[in-house]
Amino acid sequence: MAILVNSETKVCVQGITGKAGTLHTGTMLEYGTKIVSGVRPGAEGEEVLGIPVFNRVSTAVEETGANSSIIFVPAAMAKGAALEAINAGIKLIVIIPEHVPLHDELEIMQAAEDSGIVVVGPNTPGLIAPSLKCKIGFVPNKYYIPGSVGVMARSGTLTYEIVSRLTLAGIGQSTAIGVGGDPVIGSRFPDLIKKFEADPETKVILLIGEVGGTQEEEAAALVADGKIKKPVVAYIAGFSAPPGKRLGHAGAIISGSQGTMESKLKSFQKAGIAVAKTPSEVLDLVKQKLR
Partner 1 sequence: MRLLETDAKELLSKAGISVPTGKRVSTAAEAEAVAREIGEVVLKVLGKKGRGKAGMIKFANSPAEAFEAAKELLEKSDEGLIIEKKLDILEELYVAFAVDFSISKPVLIVSKKGGVEIENQADVKKIPINILRGLTAEQAGEAVAYLGHAELSPFLQLLYKQFRKIDSELLEINPLAITANGAYVADALIEINDDSLSRQPFRQETPTGGIEAEMAGAGWSYHDLGGSVGLICSGAGLSMATLDLIQIFGGKPANFLDMAQVDGDGIYRGLEILSKKQGVRSIIISLFAGLNRCDSMAEGITRFVREKGQKVPIIVRMVGNREEEGFAILRSIGLEPYKELEAAVKKAVEVAV
With contacts defined by CB under 8 A, name the span among 61-69, 144-152, 231-239, 265-273 that binds partner 1. Answer: 231-239
Q: Do the beta carbons of residue 230 and residue 196 sit within 8 Å?
A: yes
116 binds partner 1 per the rule CB under 8 A: no
d(CA 258, CA 224): 16
CB of 54 to partner 1, least distance (A): 26
Pick the stretch among 1-9, 51-59, 206-214, 226-234 that binds partner 1 (CB under 8 A). 206-214
String of contacts with partner 1 for each residue 160-189, x by CB under 8 A: xx--x----------------x-xxxx-x-
- The burial class, CB within 10 Å (0-12 / 13-18 / 19+), for 102 is exposed
Segment near partner 1 (CB under 8 A), from 126-134, 137-145, 193-201, 220-228? 137-145
Binders of partner 1 in range 249-288 (CB under 8 A): 249-250, 252, 277-280
Q: 164: Cβ–Cβ under 8 A, 6 or more apart, which residues?
A: 143
Our CB check for partner 1 shows the closer of 101 and 272 to be 101
Identity of residue 229: K
Where residue 160 falls (left for φ over 0; alpha for ψ -120 to 50; beta otherwise) is alpha
Which 3 state secondary structure label does DSSP give 54?
Answer: strand
Cβ neighbours of 104 (radius 10 Å)? 19
Rounded least distance, CB 62 to partner 1, Å? 26
Helices (H) then strands (E): counts for the chain: 9, 14
104 sits in which H/E element: helix 102-115
| Minimum distance, C-beta of residue 200 to partner 1, in the bound complex (Å) | 29
d(CA 157, CA 146): 20
Per-position x/- string for 86-115, each x denoting binding to partner 1 as judged by CB under 8 A, each - no binding = -------------xxxxx-xxx-xxx-xx-
Q: Which is nearer to partner 1, 66 or 71 (CB)?
A: 71
Name which of 195 and 249 has its Cβ closer to partner 1. Answer: 249
> Does 75 interact with partner 1 (rule: CB under 8 A)?
yes
Rounded to whole angstroms, the Cα distance separating 136 from 100 reads 19
Number of residues that bind partner 1 (CB under 8 A): 59
Grouping H, G, I as helix, E, B as strand and the rest as coil, residue 209 is strand
Let me know if 249 is a catalytic residue: yes
Output DSSP code: residue 227: S
Q: Catalytic residues, which ones?
A: 249
Name the residues that contact partner 1, by CB under 8 A.
Answer: 75-76, 99-103, 105-107, 109-111, 113-114, 138-140, 143, 153-161, 164, 181, 183-186, 188, 208, 210-211, 213-215, 218, 237-242, 245-250, 252, 277-280
